[in-house]
Amino acid sequence: MTETIHKGKIFADTSSLEEIAEIKALLGYLDGVTTNPSNFVKTLMDGTERVYDQDELLELYKKRIQEIRSILPTGSISVEVYADHKTSAEEMIVQAEEMNTWIEGAHIKLPTIPAGLVAAKELVGKGMNVNLTLVFTEQQAAAVYVATIGARRGQVYISPFIGRLDDTGMRGLDLVKNLVQLYQKGDSHVEILAASIRTGTQLAAAISAGADIVTSYPAAIKEWVGLSSSDLQSKTEDGLKSIPYEDTPLHQSFSVYNISHPLVDSGLKRFADDWRGLIKS
């Protein structure tokens, strides 16, 4: 690995204790972990098709987050609220306040939809940490910035999903570059946490693009560790369509931004379906 790729913080995008311990040992450090409903329920699937009560599943999530904290005593740990388009800001706040008691300093993951922004504003005002997820546009990023003005650095993360944009033929990495440029206009209270990163080269590229933090799957982190300088310098045509930078104001009311995107809808549905899939009907 080269010196330059040590600039960004590295988080593991998993709820697996074994994977977290393995990556921490491999790197000799680990700056944080991002859990979500999908990667958590995956760790419970043992081929028995067992289902749970809602409270039981939540209790298991709490236990897992506390176990992760014991592996990572000081790193950031993201804990995601259950949300779909019908979930109100108040319901997200209630969940967030409960999750915030599970461990010290959790980053509460909220979807970047109108209710999620209202919840973020309220939670940040109470001193809690947040991670605004499912981000696919500059408009969402501008709205996150405005909704969390006044937060200290480290309190607010924003998670642009690189791989899911790539899946649609758009270059997700361009969104990271655009958010870096956008946030240069303001203070630095929002940190860019590049997510949905599936390969080592994507991980390296996200750090080079200026992401403050990169979260990735253990397999991609292992691949990144094995990359040579020449691997990192070699450029291959990705065939993806560029996402142009559009100068977006950072001083409007956050409700004015157009933050809808089809990938937000499908992403919300995927997280909700994965969570509900393990609940007794």
Question: Least distance in Å: CB of 198 to ligand G3P?
Answer: 6
Q: Which of 36, 95, 100, 248 binds ligand G3P (CB under 6 A)?
A: 36
Where in 47-205 does DSSP place strands (E)? 76-80, 107-111, 129-135, 156-160, 190-194
HSE, CB side, 13 Å, CA atoms: give it for residue 60: 19
Q: Which of 196, 201, 202, 248 binds ligand G3P (CB under 6 A)?
A: 196
- Burial of 84 by CB count in 10 Å (0-12 exposed, 13-18 middle, 19+ buried)? middle
Task: Report yes or no: 135 and 176 within 8 Å, Cβ to Cβ.
Answer: no
Query: Is 241 among the catalytic positions?
Result: no
Residue 164 binds ligand G3P, judged by CB under 6 A: yes
Instruction: Return the residues of window 201-230 that contact ligand G3P according to CB under 6 A.
Output: 215
CA 112/CA 128 separation, integer angstroms: 17
Residue 182 binds ligand G3P, judged by CB under 6 A: no
The 121-160 site mask, x for binding ligand G3P (CB under 6 A), equals ----------------------------------------
Q: Which is nearer to ligand G3P, 80 or 138 (CB)?
A: 80
Residue 173 binds ligand G3P, judged by CB under 6 A: no
Q: Which of 34, 76, 131, 178 binds ligand G3P (CB under 6 A)?
A: 34
**Tokens matching residue 244:** 């142009």
**Tokens matching residue 256:** 């004015």
Among residues 62, 86, 109, 121, which one is catalytic?
109
Task: Report yes or no: 31 and 213 within 8 Å, Cβ to Cβ.
Answer: yes
Q: Cα 18 to chain center, whole Å?
A: 20
Question: Least distance in Å: CB of 278 to ligand G3P?
Answer: 17
Q: 3-class DSSP state for residue 44?
A: helix
Q: Which is nearer to ligand G3P, 111 or 121 (CB)?
A: 111
> Which of these, 244, 239, 258, 232, lies nearest to 174 by C-alpha position?
244
Residue 35 binds ligand G3P, judged by CB under 6 A: no
DSSP 254: G
Question: Least distance in Å: CB of 195 to ligand G3P?
Answer: 4
Task: Report yes or no: 8 and 206 within 8 Å, Cβ to Cβ.
Answer: yes
Q: Which of 89, 170, 195, 232 binds ligand G3P (CB under 6 A)?
A: 195
Query: Which residue's Cβ has the minimum distance to ligand G3P?
Result: 196
Question: Least distance in Å: CB of 66 to ligand G3P?
Answer: 20
Query: How many residues of this chain interact with ligand G3P, rule: CB under 6 A?
Result: 10
Beta bridge partners of 156: 130, 190
CA 122/CA 184 separation, integer angstroms: 25
Please list the active-site residues.
109
Residue ranges binding ligand G3P (CB under 6 A) = 13, 34, 36, 161, 163-164, 195-196, 198, 215
